[in-house]
Amino acid sequence: MSMDSQDKSFPLMRSFSFAFSGILLALRKERNMRFHFISSIIVLLVSFYFSITKIEWVFILFTIGGMFALEIMNTAIERVVDLVTAEYHPLAKQAKDLAAGAVLVYAALSVVIGIVIFLPYVLNLF
């Protein structure tokens, strides 16, 4: 391996390290992120139990990944707003509320996707 390729790979590995640090920070510090993480584990276990189809796996994995990504973005927006101003400002509130609203919309969509995928499996148990 040449020096040039080593020099280019180090920043890439370092950026992955920063990204993983961000994910771990969100899991440690954010209650909602921990809720999504535990919910995801339950959904994955239920998915294995019911032996869902490949296309259902795609929807489940995109739903879980999207929820994590959106929750992390929401946290980042909240932190930046808090960094910029400690005082109440209507625009700061709007930024935080909009980010939280985006998470809520995606969470509701995730629940609907879960119902569409798992309800037939659950009904077949009876």
Catalytic site residues? 71
| Alpha-carbon distance values, 93 to 3, 53, 67, 72, 102 (Å) | 49, 42, 22, 18, 14
Structure tokens at 123: 């009904």
Contact 68, 107 (CB under 8 A): no
DSSP SS3 for 85: coil
* Burial zone of 117 (CB within 10 Å; 0-12 exposed, 13-18 middle, 19+ buried): buried
CB atoms within 10 A of CB 63: 21
